[in-house]
Structures are given as C-alpha cells and as structure tokens.
C-alpha cells in the first residue's frame, strides 16, 4: 500500500513539474492582464493537474513569436494571427472559440466632424479621408476591413484614403478617431460595445457608420507537441476544460457568453482572404 501511495505521489509531483503557459489578447497594460486572468489560471490548474501560468503580451507579433518558440503552448488569437502561428508549429490546432466568434464583425467608425452618415451599405464617402486600422496582425481591425475596402472600392487602402495608419489596438483606434487624429477607423465590435457600455466613448465626437459582414475570428490555438510534452490526450483535456466553463467572471474577461469547439478548417476562408490581401503567401 505504501508503495502505491508513493507511486501516486511521484506521479502527481511529476505532473506539476512542468508548467503550461498560455496567453490571450495583447494589451499594453501588463499588470491589468495578469490580474484579469488569475481566476482562469487557477481554474485550468485544477482541471489540468499541471502548473498553469498566464504570460501577457503587448502585440500579436509577440504572441505569435511566443507560441512558435514554445514560450506559451496555448494562445488566444485573432483569426489571421492564429493561422500564422499554427503555420509555424507543425500539428497545431484551433481547439476553442467563443460562441460569438463564429459570426464576428467590425465597426467602421468616424469622427462626427467628418460629416459621414451611418449607412447599411458600405460608406463610399470615406474615400479621401484619413483612415486608421488597429494592429497590423488583427483580423477585425485590419484584415477583413481591408478586404472589404479593396473589394468595394476596387483599390488598396493607400489609394482610397488621404492617409493610412495603424494604432496597434482597438481602444487606441477609438480614442484617435474620437479626438480627430484620424477621420475614420475600424474596430472590433466587442471592444466598441464594451467601451460604450462603460461610458468611455463620447458619441458626440465619434460614431459607428457601418457594420461589416460577418466572419469567423478569435480562437484558442494549441501547439501540436503538447500531448508529447504533457501526456497523451492533453489537448483534448484542455479543450474540455474550456467547454466546461460556466463562470460568468471568466467568460466576461473574454466578452463571450460561452466557449465552443473550433477546428482549423473553419478559418480556411480567412486564410484565403489573407492571401488575397497579401498578408500571407
């Protein structure tokens, strides 16, 4: 009996000798990120029976690099960032998405002084204005909006607008369009809705002028070698842990109502768009 107990203790000790690292949406407020995802880390540690540590990142480029270098084994990516990351690590898969991520969309926003009216059809009157994207690696803040611009305006952004910029984040895009640094911009709808609810946005200075068509976006991608590193079936274990989450506080950190399964094939349409736009080969 003592030998059995000793073996069990050694197995538990071995399982906790490795740390499972993950990251989520990039943010420049590192301390806030760490605090925000503490509860998720504690939950995953209990469910997975390994040490779990959240690693904050400040850009999608940093997230992709951390994933490719095995500094994190799991990452919450926008669609295009996830595609790029999975291409760098053989066997990597998208395993989890938010329920809302199957039908994601972007808001085109404008400073009220630009004189652009809200419309159900693409606002062609944005031509000649200064335009602000979010991160260069963002699906909702760059890739899909650029695709719509090219498709409808029949030209790349540089030929449509008087000036094109990249803010690096959705919140910055909202702030810079609101203060008039740029006349028009594009943002993730969930960030806009959250900041609007929190009273951060001054709607007398900035407004939504167009809601884009829907597309698949955010997902958790996991490295293809985690089963080898953490044990057979570990990928499935991680997926199941997220599917079981009912805690409203954890879900709120992602602005999602629940998590559902994801697969690589769901993002093939995004990969095609990225190739069309020239973001990937």
Distance CA 276, CA 151 (A): 10
CB neighbours (10 Å) of residue 56?
19
**Domain co-membership, 24 together with 71:** yes
**Domain co-membership, 47 together with 174:** no
Confidence label for 1 from pLDDT (cuts 50, 70 and 90)? very low
CB neighbours (10 Å) of residue 6?
10
Predicted local distance difference test score (pLDDT) of residue 8: 46
Average pLDDT over residues 132-139: 90
**Domain co-membership, 13 together with 96:** yes
CB burial of residue 22 (10 Å; 0-12, 13-18, 19+): buried
**Domain co-membership, 94 together with 15:** yes
pTM score above 0.85: no
HEC string for the chain: CHHHHHHHHHHHHHHCCCEEEEECCCCCCHHHHHHHCHHHHHHHHHHHCCEEEECCCCCHHHHHHHHHCCCCCEEEECHHHHHHHHHHCCCCEEEEEEHHHHHECEEEEEEHHHCCCCCCCCCHHHCCCEEEECCCCCHHHHHHHHHHHHHHHCCCHHHHCCEEEECCCHHHHHHHHHCCCCCEEEEEHHHHHHHHHCCCCCCCCEEEEEECCCECCCEEEECCCHHHHHCCCHHHHHHHHHHCCCCHHHHHHHCCCCEEECCHHHHHHHHHHHHHHCCCC
Q: Could you tell me the CATH number of the domain that includes residue 230?
A: 3.40.190.10
Predicted local distance difference test score (pLDDT) of residue 269: 86
Predicted local distance difference test score (pLDDT) of residue 249: 94
**Domain co-membership, 171 together with 95:** no
What total of structural domains would you count in the chain? 2
**Which pLDDT tens digit goes with each residue over 232-247?**
999 999 999 999 999 9
Confidence label for 154 from pLDDT (cuts 50, 70 and 90)? very high
**Domain co-membership, 112 together with 195:** yes
**Domain co-membership, 109 together with 134:** yes
**Domain co-membership, 110 together with 247:** no
Average pLDDT over residues 155-184: 96
Domain assignment of residue 262, given as a range: 2-101+217-277
Average pLDDT, the chain: 90
Average pLDDT over residues 160-188: 96
CB burial of residue 46 (10 Å; 0-12, 13-18, 19+): exposed
**Domain co-membership, 69 together with 155:** no
Kindly calculate the radius of gyration of the chain based on its CA atoms and give it in whole angstroms. 21
pLDDT at 30 over 80: no
**Domain co-membership, 199 together with 110:** yes
Higher pLDDT, 281 or 183: 183
Distance CA 12, CA 17 (A): 9
Distance CA 269, CA 215 (A): 9
Average pLDDT over residues 139-152: 92
Higher pLDDT, 281 or 101: 101
254, 76 Cβ separation under 8 angstroms:
yes
Predicted local distance difference test score (pLDDT) of residue 90: 95
**Domain co-membership, 60 together with 74:** yes
Confidence label for 172 from pLDDT (cuts 50, 70 and 90)? very high
Last residue of a domain, one of 185, 211, 237: 211
Last residue of a domain, one of 211, 228, 249: 211
Last residue of a domain, one of 211, 236, 263: 211
**Domain co-membership, 152 together with 170:** yes
């Amino acid at each position: 009996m003592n030998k059995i107990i000793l073996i069990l203790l050694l197995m538990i000790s071995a399982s906790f000798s490795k740390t499972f690292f993950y990251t989520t949406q990039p943010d420049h407020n590192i301390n806030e990120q760490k605090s925000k995802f503490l509860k998720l880390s504690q939950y995953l540690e209990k469910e997975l029976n390994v040490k779990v540590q959240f690693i904050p990142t400040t850009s999608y480029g940093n997230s992709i690099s951390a994933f490719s270098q095995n500094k994190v084994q799991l990452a919450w990516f926008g669609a295009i960032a996830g595609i790029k990351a999975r291409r760098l690590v053989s066997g990597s898969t998208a395993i989890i998405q938010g329920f809302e991520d199957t039908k994601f969309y972007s808001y085109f926003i404008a400073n009220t002084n630009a004189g652009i009216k809200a419309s159900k059809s693409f606002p062609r009157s944005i031509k000649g204005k200064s335009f602000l994207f979010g991160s260069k690696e963002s699906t909702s803040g760059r890739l899909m909006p650029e695709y719509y611009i090219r498709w409808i305006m029949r030209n790349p952004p540089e030929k449509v607008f008087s000036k094109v910029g990249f803010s690096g984040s959705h919140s910055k895009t909202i702030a810079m369009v609101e203060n008039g640094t740029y006349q028009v911009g594009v943002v993730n709808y969930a960030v806009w809705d959250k900041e609007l609810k929190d009273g951060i946005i001054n709607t007398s200075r900035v407004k939504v002028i167009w809601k884009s068509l829907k597309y698949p976006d955010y997902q958790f991608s996991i490295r293809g070698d985690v089963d080898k590193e953490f044990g057979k079936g570990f990928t499935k274990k991680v997926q199941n842990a997220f599917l079981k989450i009912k805690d409203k506080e954890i879900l709120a950190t992602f602005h999602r109502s629940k998590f559902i399964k994801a697969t690589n094939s769901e993002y093939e349409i995004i990969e095609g768009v990225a190739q069309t736009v020239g973001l990937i080969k």
